[in-house]
Amino acid sequence: MPWNDQFECMPVEQLQELQLKNLKETLNWVYEKIPFYRNKFDEQGIQPGDIQRLEDVRKLPVTVKTDLRDNYPFGLCAVPLEEVVRVHASSGTTGKPITGPYTAEDLEQWIECMARNLWAAGIRSNDIVQNAYGHGLFTGGLGFHQGASRIGCTVVPTSAGMTERQITIMKDFGSTVLFCTPSYALTIAERAEEMNIDIRKLPLRVGVFGAEPWTTAMRDEIQERMGIKAMEAYGLTELCGPGVAFDCEAQDGLHINEDHFLAEIVDPATLEPVPMGESGELIFTSLQRRAMPMIRYRTKDITRLRREKCACGRTLIKMDKITGRSDDMLIISGVNVFPSQIESLLLDVEEVLPQYVLVIRKKGYLDQLSVRVEAKPDVYNLGAEKCAEVEKKIAGHIQGMMGINVKVELLAPKTLTRSEGKAMRVIDERPKG
Ligand code: ADP
Ligand code: ZN
Phi, psi (degrees; rounded to nearest 5) at 120: -65, -25
Per-residue pLDDT in tens (0 to 9) along the chain, 433 residues: 899 999 999 999 999 999 999 999 999 999 999 999 999 999 999 999 999 999 999 999 999 999 999 999 999 999 999 999 999 998 655 567 899 999 999 999 999 999 999 999 999 999 999 999 999 999 999 999 999 999 999 999 999 999 999 999 999 999 999 999 999 999 999 999 999 999 999 999 999 999 999 999 999 999 999 999 999 999 999 999 999 999 999 999 999 999 999 999 999 999 999 999 999 999 999 999 999 999 999 999 999 999 999 999 999 999 999 998 888 888 887 888 999 999 999 999 999 999 999 999 988 888 899 999 999 999 999 999 999 999 999 999 999 999 999 999 999 999 999 999 999 999 989 887 6
Task: Note the helical H segments in 121-229.
Answer: 139-151, 163-173, 182-194, 216-226
What atom of ligand 1 comes closest to residue 300's alpha carbon? 14
What amino acid occupies position 126?
N
Q: Name the residue among 259, 378, 356, 255 with its Cα closest to residue 306.
A: 255
Q: Which residues hold their Cβ within 5 A of ligand 2, which is an ion?
A: 248, 250, 310, 312, 314
- For ligand 1, atom 11, name the residue with the nearest CA: 236
pLDDT on residue 93: 57
**CA 232 / ligand 2 centre spacing (Å):** 12
**CA 300 / ligand 1 centre spacing (Å):** 10
- For ligand 1, atom 9, name the residue with the nearest CA: 236
- Which ligand has the minimum distance to the alpha carbon of residue 255? 2
Q: Which domains does the chain have, with CATH numbers?
A: 1-326 (3.40.50.12780), 330-428 (3.30.300.30)
Pocket residues: Cβ below 6 A from ligand 1: 90-91, 93-94, 210-213, 232-237, 299, 301, 322, 325, 422
**CA 229 / ligand 2 centre spacing (Å):** 15
Long-range contacts of 306-312 (CB under 8 A, 24+ apart): 306/253, 306/276, 306/277, 307/12, 307/276, 310/248, 310/250, 310/252, 310/253, 310/255, 311/248, 311/249, 311/250, 312/2, 312/120, 312/248, 312/249, 312/250, 312/255
CA distances from 190 to 295, 325, 381 (A): 42, 27, 18
pTM: 0.94
The contacts of residue 18 (CB under 8 Å, 6+ apart) are 10, 259
